[in-house]
Chain A
């Protein structure tokens, strides 16, 4: 084959020589390219039974199964989106409702923040003229009471469930039977602030002829009212314009701590402690036996036993009269006081200052006696104020009304005896707890057993409901309608912000159903309608307004209140009131002073973990009450902190742990009331000692003279958040001053040398270049002149930032979780300590020492100057906390929600109180103050939405919002016009531990003491 064409004449390419030679084998191979038997061997039956389809399906399924099995998905219940969104609810946006707090006699206006229909935070109503946007620790923490797992969920009869209808029928029958048998129906309430509730009670009395209304509050202002009645002929007493007073003398009065409307008092008082602009300070003198929050603020403090107060007042009158002969014209009185000398009550120089100040500031000073002092002291004080012309400071436009008087103790005695005689058919505890609050001498609990029908309307089981038959659960105030009229001219409204969580009813509605006489008449709107009607009659009709009643109602509801310009008539002092006031000489034994607890109140809040765990403003003790003794007395008895002592008053005794409290008068034993509840939920169990048992019949039994005290065996550990050092221990003395943690001066010094604080300039340098903050730089300033250590900021922070309750055992170990604390330092002598308070929180240092030591970068700095915590990244080495010079970091040693009281707070109900904007931290994670970063972020997103730049004034931190003294300022330090920037430059501003050069961003304004010298005395 010479050419490249084959037989067929077609040009072909050959692949091999065999091919070229047309090898027959090759031919065959070519034919057999697709051999038949190749496919013959393929038998699908021999193959695995899994088809490709099936294989892929299995693969997919197993992957899916593995993936879901590994994920932590648990069915968290159904999430149902709004099918039809309620008009006012935006998911993720909070709603605020104006309402009124129901927890004490002040009836402050509040704003309740709700998220997706559940209340999560309480703040003061800024429009309310009395509390002006502030609310106390108790009001803040009330959220936890709403979601308290120990709330009564069903009506109970003898501890077993009963339907409302059946209970109502039985009770109505019992009421009717009592009336027909002419047996008394006793309804016991705890004071009433609501005019409409008062009306319901009146209706009840009308409907059931034998009904009597009693009222008892454990701690009340009855002696003040009675004294006012004697002096001025009315129980409606005016509030005091503390903001106009130059000189204030507080006699065993904790007007900045927990007396009267202390939010208003604090605001007014601290308005005269302003260091920006004119320094026009008031001067506070305190004469007290215990060490109160007010006493800590005093410029001069005298130690006067509470049973010596009348003597003190008389001697003041005497000395002032000597200085100005003719001030007292009544010769009878002159005789009474002529032998009283003031100089036994303390340092002569200080007392002379007091006398001179009162004398020269007549008309601009006020003497203010405490609620727990007896009536006669109040009468004497009323006269003294009158004598000094100080009645100009009485605010008659804001008098305090008395809707229902405290029932005299004789009436309670009568009630108890007629209960014992079987003359009482029905006893109704109208949200009151007389078994706990009434003195043992009444024998109330035993008498209760003789009564056939005992009904307790209550939120939680208490001593009184446990001793009774029916326990009917009532709504929390946040689930209730209501109103309040405490101050003349302010009528405030309460509206429900959540439907009743349990099968509870509003207490007034229950009464209304009983009044109607038929259990079927109840409907959940019954009191609402009654309230509107009463509002129309008593408020709308008195108000000359152009709007119709409905519009007026809704606008009042929106505002939370209706104001009117009313003024009570000023009346003349009745000198006859003084006639019966006699001072008893020669006190014997010790004197027990019973005062209300700062945070658990009269025991009403005993089951609120947040409040139990808020440190006492002075002693920093949590979860307990104690006998506060002076160091000298403790030494005399050779007792120390935590030792048990036996306090005996007229045969009644309690055994209580001791706290050695500097500044207490040597005869005085101060014990707080509100503890030792026996029938209470998990949190309040076994907390403290019930000191009510020491009280006796008769009014104002808070001051018990002739007490004896002896050491008892054993001890009881008090859990304090601050170590108690002996004040005269030279080793640790005055460290807070030498380390410049606390820097103070006096007004005199400041006026002379405004720059005295920064005389010694520390030349601090850094080896690295500082980070430049060009945008916002968040910073805080705390004015120590204003802080009264009321603790509202601490609780507000707890609520805002989902701070867990850790329990007494953990506080003992120093593991409390509060992000904010108020440090208390003593200087001076144990008898006359000078107290300095300092709110302490994360300082958000520019050179934060915590940041560089975290091995995993879980804490770092934001461009706007925040020291941030990344919870997800934190492994919990605690190195950051060790390296924090302020020790403000808090470590989750346990899952505290699970750890506390067998996971008492780990349930679906309590977790509703959590702020959804703030992560709930797990165990093993470090946490600390964030400067309320969630609020900063909210302000920032609002600013972005509105196309503006975020400004410091848009942001209010939770502590700042709560502070009744406005001691806390927050804002952008880079904005020169902002208040914070000015405060940072203020002459009195300083940083704690400046020499560490960590550059904190919390500036403290040094406290000035308004004494008569340039040195702090």
Chain B
């Protein structure tokens, strides 16, 4: 191919695999027994997860004092992790809902997996608001429920909005994910010979018979749910950003936060999806389904959102100076030059500098390089939240109450453990459900859709 034919849509699936072959390939992990490698991986993630359990055990037994949080710095790793994980979740909904509405066919290969990640990331994130409280046994007070005290929650508190936003997000993502799974579950039901599996697949495929009518309804529901999930992509992180933007602390009290947080969330979400998919496509031989082209497109989104985030960093500085508010100016100078400057510069390097390499096509298409850059992005995005939360709190209005925050080993255990928790779910997911949507992929294989040319 010397001259590209731009009149023809490129296929998102490489080669022209037989539809039956795709079914076989995608359902293979579900039909084979887990191998040794899987168990090794699972034991690693479970060990990390156990750190979370121990860390939480210590916290629940002794108190939040086991963490490094102190008087000006009331929130630290707890909320940093929360915002980080909610952000990770964003890519999934963006890929499955927004890109669906925009008819981006390349999404089909990665949508299912990204959605799965959304759910696990939101589950991980959702844990933090509940465990960060001083008296976790009373965390139920955060939910509005009728009680004999006649006490209601405080609807002006952004933390309460968080509760609603995150729980809505989890619910909608879960339903969206499940609806997308129905045709696949039906395929699996047809394929399996295992009795118990058959029952399970039968129940969950809701009597799907691949009839035209089913497809019609399905497409409609999927479209509606996509429409429903789309605003959530924007709203959830907007509301998470309100935790800070609504408060009065310099460095938090910033109107740029909602778009800036959403861009950041998509940024980190794509980085995480890309990281994990690179491994998945290799292990399960999905290279022709999750193609290099798809990965390149994801890198482009990272380049875009990374630049948006970089713009936001610059704009924050500008506004701090432009506002003329001394405390505001100090906070931003303090980020770059104060005791937490190291964290700030890690953030800038990872988030602003590293994605700029994606301007180069070669880097965009080099799997090892993009893998490393995405890891950097994730580190950078974690530090972004750290910089926003910890540096702003550690030096706020009154210099007399300033203090330096240092995390403890329990903080580290909970952070590492949250990764263990997340990846344990990911691993179980790869063996329990098709990580690529069989129905959708088959629909985008070259020649699967009759075009008018061929007619």
Interchain CA distance A821-B160 in the complex, whole Å: 32
Q: Does A627 contact B (CB under 8 A)?
A: no
Contact present for B72 and A814 (CB under 8 Å): yes
Contact present for B152 and A857 (CB under 8 Å): yes
- Known interface pairs A853-B157, A891-B134; A881-B396 also in contact (CB < 8 Å): no
Residues of A within 8 A of B70 (CB): 813-815
Contact present for A894 and B399 (CB under 8 Å): no
Q: Which residue of A lies closest to B243 (CB)?
A: A879
Q: Which residue of B lies closest to A735 (CB)?
A: B399
Residues of A within 8 A of B427 (CB): none
CB under 8 Å from chain B, chain A span 633-673: none
Residues of B within 8 A of A876 (CB): 64, 133-135
Interface size on A, residues (CB 8 A): 58
Q: Does A779 contact B (CB under 8 A)?
A: no
> Residues of A at under 8 Å CB distance from B?
722-723, 725, 731-732, 735-736, 738-739, 741, 810, 813-816, 821, 823-825, 838, 840, 849, 852-857, 873-879, 881-883, 885-887, 890-895, 899, 922-926, 992-993, 995-996, 998
Distance in Å: Cβ of A258 to nearest Cβ of chain B:
23
Interface string of B136-170 (1 = CB under 8 A from A): 10110110000000011110111110010000000
Partner of B65, one of A852, A874, A893: A893
Contact present for A881 and B138 (CB under 8 Å): no
Contact present for B248 and A849 (CB under 8 Å): yes
Q: Does B337 contact A (CB under 8 A)?
A: yes
Partner of B157, one of A738, A855, A892: A855
Residues of A within 8 A of B193 (CB): none
Interchain CA distance A925-B134 in the complex, whole Å: 6
- Known interface pairs A857-B154, A873-B151; A879-B398 also in contact (CB < 8 Å): no
Residues of A within 8 A of B227 (CB): none
Q: Which residue of A lies closest to B72 (CB)?
A: A887
Contact present for B133 and A887 (CB under 8 Å): no
- Known interface pairs A731-B337, A878-B75, A925-B135; A993-B397 also in contact (CB < 8 Å): yes
List 8 A-B residue pairs with CB atoms under 8 Å apart, sorted by A's residue number.
A731-B333, A823-B401, A854-B154, A854-B159, A855-B142, A876-B64, A923-B64, A924-B135
**16 more A-B contacts (CB under 8 A) besides A887-B72, A893-B65, A894-B63?**
A723-B404, A731-B333, A736-B399, A840-B398, A854-B159, A855-B153, A856-B141, A857-B153, A873-B151, A875-B135, A879-B157, A879-B247, A887-B398, A923-B63, A924-B133, A995-B325
- Classify the interface of chain A: helix, strand, loop or mixed: loop
Distance in Å: Cβ of B138 to nearest Cβ of chain A:
5
Contact present for A881 and B71 (CB under 8 Å): yes
Residues of B within 8 A of A924 (CB): 63-64, 133-136
Interchain CA distance A899-B136 in the complex, whole Å: 19
- Known interface pairs A877-B132, A893-B65; A853-B158 also in contact (CB < 8 Å): yes
Interchain CA distance A899-B365 in the complex, whole Å: 56
Distance in Å: Cβ of B123 to nearest Cβ of chain A:
20
Distance in Å: Cβ of A38 to nearest Cβ of chain B:
49
Q: Which residue of A lies closest to B65 (CB)?
A: A893
Interchain CA distance A881-B136 in the complex, whole Å: 18
Interchain CA distance A491-B249 in the complex, whole Å: 56
Contact present for A873 and B141 (CB under 8 Å): yes
Distance in Å: Cβ of A767 to nearest Cβ of chain B:
14
- Known interface pairs A735-B399, A887-B396, A891-B74; A855-B138 also in contact (CB < 8 Å): no
Distance in Å: Cβ of B96 to nearest Cβ of chain A:
30
Q: Does B68 contact A (CB under 8 A)?
A: yes
Q: Which residue of B lies closest to A925 (CB)?
A: B134
Contact present for A855 and B160 (CB under 8 Å): yes
Partner of A885, one of B139, B153, B249: B249
Interchain CA distance A825-B398 in the complex, whole Å: 10
CB under 8 Å from chain A, chain B span 295-346: 325-327, 330, 333-334, 337-338
Interchain CA distance A823-B397 in the complex, whole Å: 13
Interchain CA distance A876-B75 in the complex, whole Å: 11
Distance in Å: Cβ of B388 to nearest Cβ of chain A:
12
Partner of A899, one of B65, B152, B337: B65
- Known interface pairs A853-B247, A885-B248, A891-B64; A878-B400 also in contact (CB < 8 Å): no
Distance in Å: Cβ of A816 to nearest Cβ of chain B:
8
CB under 8 Å from chain A, chain B span 386-400: 393, 396-400
Contact present for B151 and A857 (CB under 8 Å): yes
Interchain CA distance A925-B334 in the complex, whole Å: 31
Distance in Å: Cβ of B132 to nearest Cβ of chain A:
7
Distance in Å: Cβ of B69 to nearest Cβ of chain A:
7
Residues of A within 8 A of B160 (CB): 855
Contact present for B249 and A883 (CB under 8 Å): yes
Interchain CA distance A722-B75 in the complex, whole Å: 20
Residues of B within 8 A of A813 (CB): 68, 70
Partner of B397, one of A732, A854, A885: A885
Interchain CA distance A891-B401 in the complex, whole Å: 14
Q: Which of A732, A873, A887 has the largest number of chain B CB atoms within 10 A?
A: A887
Q: Does B403 contact A (CB under 8 A)?
A: yes
Distance in Å: Cβ of A788 to nearest Cβ of chain B:
17
Residues of B within 8 A of A732 (CB): 399
CB under 8 Å from chain A, chain B span 27-63: 62-63
Interchain CA distance A202-B163 in the complex, whole Å: 76
Residues of B within 8 A of A998 (CB): 248
Q: Does B402 contact A (CB under 8 A)?
A: yes
Interchain CA distance A741-B62 in the complex, whole Å: 37
Q: Does B280 contact A (CB under 8 A)?
A: no
Distance in Å: Cβ of A734 to nearest Cβ of chain B:
10
Residues of A within 8 A of B153 (CB): 855-857
Residues of A within 8 A of B132 (CB): 877-878
Distance in Å: Cβ of B87 to nearest Cβ of chain A:
20
Q: Which residue of A lies closest to B142 (CB)?
A: A855
Interchain CA distance A821-B399 in the complex, whole Å: 13
Residues of B within 8 A of A899 (CB): 62-63, 65
Residues of A within 8 A of B63 (CB): 892-895, 899, 923-924
